[in-house]
Structure 1
């Protein structure tokens, strides 16, 4: 089964409407249940208290007659006046002689009571009498029951008024209070009907309002999506509008803008790299092609001329190979620790004093040919100084710094190499006594294909401008850094590499 695909707008709208519908249904159910309970309790309370009030009035009247000594006089009037049916508001109150009603219930053809009770009330009265005789009910208990009359459902309260001591001749009266439940049932039906119509209407209103609110809230997100979809490699300078900088969409827009800035910088760096590489490769290729064309243009040439042409081709091919090797080395360093790369860095314990000693020995003949003295401070070569990394790459880093220093060191000057160990890092400095680097160019010298200040004798042997870029990339790949120190004369490059801790990790 395919998953349902819906936009965030539709999901938010449906979720909002669904949650509101559930809340309304739960609230309506609880409210209707509470209302129904209150209505029924009120009806029971009304009939119960009405029966008690009538019974209390009868007892008060009997006591007053007894106090005046008019019991016999009042009794005849009482028998004619008390046994009657009253209508008070929505209540029907029956005051009847219990014995008379029981006789009428047992022999309806022989006895006709003064007050005729509904059939359902007489049946209830007989049941209550049986419970009293069985001892399940006391004589003063008020019995409230639901009945079904010809007019509909009703609530009845039965209360027996027993003669007091000394009034044995008084009849036992039965107070019956009846209240119809038709009005309450109609009220509950109207409330239920209102709820059944109100919940769907409220859900529909919530659905529409939720849709409009969600659409308005997600409008900035839709603008971000549309604007981002229109950004291509040719328009990476465009930025997304940040309407509300402190909400979630504002932070998203800022993050995307930062990402676009980084991607734009990467694209520009890549384009510049390709352009610089093409420029560096174009010159030796053009020289090789020109020498070949000139050599092939004549039908015959001497051996000396062929040798000179081949020497030029060989020299330029060596330069091409050096540039290609440098580019390949940069690719390897950029790969770093990425898994799956065949040329990823190694992670071995490298003895830096020994590595620096080998690098200095490799360039000593070149320094002697340029009449430059290489000086390594012996007290700084601590035998226990080691870092974790790739020995070949670290050797290339030191060679590039020495080669750069020799290119700019004048004849008769000194290139000094020094190592210092701090608590958790190795500081390697290479200083020359050349013309130095202007402050404005100190960061650019680490960019790829950027040539520093050249001496006149290097005009024909200048490199591709990748030495310092490779050195910085190697230092960063080993968790270190490289920079220029502010010195009054010449240029001093400092490399800081984390030391290997006794546990085998970087300190």
Structure 2
């Protein structure tokens, strides 16, 4: 994907202006075309209706004359004025005798009014209309509308034939009514509209650019605040939060999500710092003991062999403890790396439980605690057998530490087919875990959470933390259930999808 160097503000402004420009151009083109058609249709309608109005007036005059009985007088007037011109507003009305040779210029008689010169273009139109009507290409009542050019100026003309009265066609001539209208005013109007459009579109685009830029900058102001505030947050001030101006829009949701992310990152940093501090504390004690024993053994030139042996025994014990802590830390690092660092294969939990019980048998005999299993069903999970074995060993070791002499540690296994989960429970008969402390038992380097001190409580406090981390890495979890006396740890692991389960 090609990188775009323009900012979001610039892109929003350009997109808004481009869309507006295309819309205005399309609207202006459609508006111009429609307005031009309307002006042309109006011009045609004006000359057409004017010709019809004049024809209607002539017919009314003829009928009125027939009703008065002075037909001869009116007819004589028509015979003496076979060519008339009327000027009505911006219209020129020509009334001609259809039978006259329109192409010839007739000289008026002395008793007639001065000759009216019909423009050649109008005479040509009249002649063409008469020829079409004689040839049968036009009916007698058709109004012919044509566009003309008079001396280089556009005009529009309408020609209409006025029929003679029925039964008197030989004495009363048929007339051609021609309405002529110059279109210079229409052209001027169209030119003004066109100039307005050409001026308005660039102005609208300039206004759109400025307004779009201002609106986009105002809309993106919270984003700029988020960027600047986020850039100023460092690992030392992870408690800072971004301003949420409007929690309901996209930027508000983004700020809220970033705040939640900062909260998680802050918790992770605090956990990491606490982990490093606790690990340093746990490692410092055995190292200090080893160094103290070595300094004490080397302080004198010669010491009895028994003292050297005692010092080396102490050093060996602390070295073992150091090795156990380091191994646990490496194991936690491996589990924290995620599912990609784990090997995956089908693991039968009943076999895993049997192996774990055999591994702690000698420890249980030493502490005079009985380990038993009941209600063991068949369940197969998909995971790392080494880590799952370590999970069971840590839980069993914790149960043995807190079980009284002569007590019993019980294991059980069942499946929840509805949720496709396997539930492995380990129950001891110790003092139990108070409800207000159950959330802390799985924290790292936590000692003495239970209500009474346990035997062999010199561990690093990582056993339950490792067990919980292994369970979560396999998509499960460990809970402390209500149980009196003692404590019950419930391990829920997802069943393998490729293996059948049965209770």
**Equivalence for 2:391:** 397
**Equivalence for 1:387:** 381
Q: Say whether the 8 Å CA contact 1:333–1:345 is kept in structure 2.
A: no
CA distance 1:297–1:152, shift in 2 (3 Å):
same
Q: Does 2:446 align with 1:462?
A: no
Judge which range, 482-491 or 27-36, deviates more. Answer: 482-491
TM-score w.r.t. length of structure 1: 0.89
**Equivalence for 2:363:** 366
- Report deviation, 1:203: 1.4
Q: Take 1:172 and 1:115, find their aligned partners in 2: how far apart are those partners? A: 19
**Equivalence for 1:414:** 407
CA RMSD of aligned residues (A): 2.8
Match of 1:444, SS state, is coil
Match of 2:155, SS state, is strand
**Equivalence for 1:178:** 180
Select the residue among 483, 489, 492 that pairs with 1:493. 489
CA distance 1:90–1:390, shift in 2 (3 Å):
same
Deviations 1:289-333 (Å, cap 9, x if unpaired)? 233333344444454443333322222221111111111112222
Taking the TM superposition and a 5 Å limit, the aligned residue runs for 1:95-494 are 95-104=95-104, 114-150=115-151, 152-164=153-165, 165-338=167-340, 341=341, 344-350=342-348, 352-370=349-367, 372-377=368-373, 379-382=374-377, 384-410=378-404, 412-424=405-417, 425-453=421-449, 458=455, 462-494=458-490
Q: Take 1:435 and 1:304, find their aligned partners in 2: how far apart are those partners? A: 41
- Report deviation, 1:221: 1.3
CA distance 1:392–1:151, shift in 2 (3 Å):
closer
Q: Take 2:140 and 2:427, find their aligned partners in 1: how far apart are those partners? A: 119
Give unmatched runs, 5+ long, in structure 2: none
Q: Take 1:167 and 1:336, find their aligned partners in 2: how far apart are those partners? A: 111
Q: Say whether the 8 Å CA contact 2:379–2:415 is kept in structure 1.
A: no
The total of aligned residue pairs comes to 495
TM-score w.r.t. length of structure 2: 0.90
- Report deviation, 1:108: 9.3
- Report deviation, 1:443: 1.5
Q: Take 1:456 and 1:31, find their aligned partners in 2: how far apart are those partners? A: 91
Q: Say whether the 8 Å CA contact 1:429–1:495 is kept in structure 2.
A: yes
- Report deviation, 1:421: 1.6
Give unmatched runs, 5+ long, in structure 1: none
CA distance 1:453–1:267, shift in 2 (3 Å):
closer
Q: Take 2:480 and 2:147, find their aligned partners in 1: how far apart are those partners? A: 101
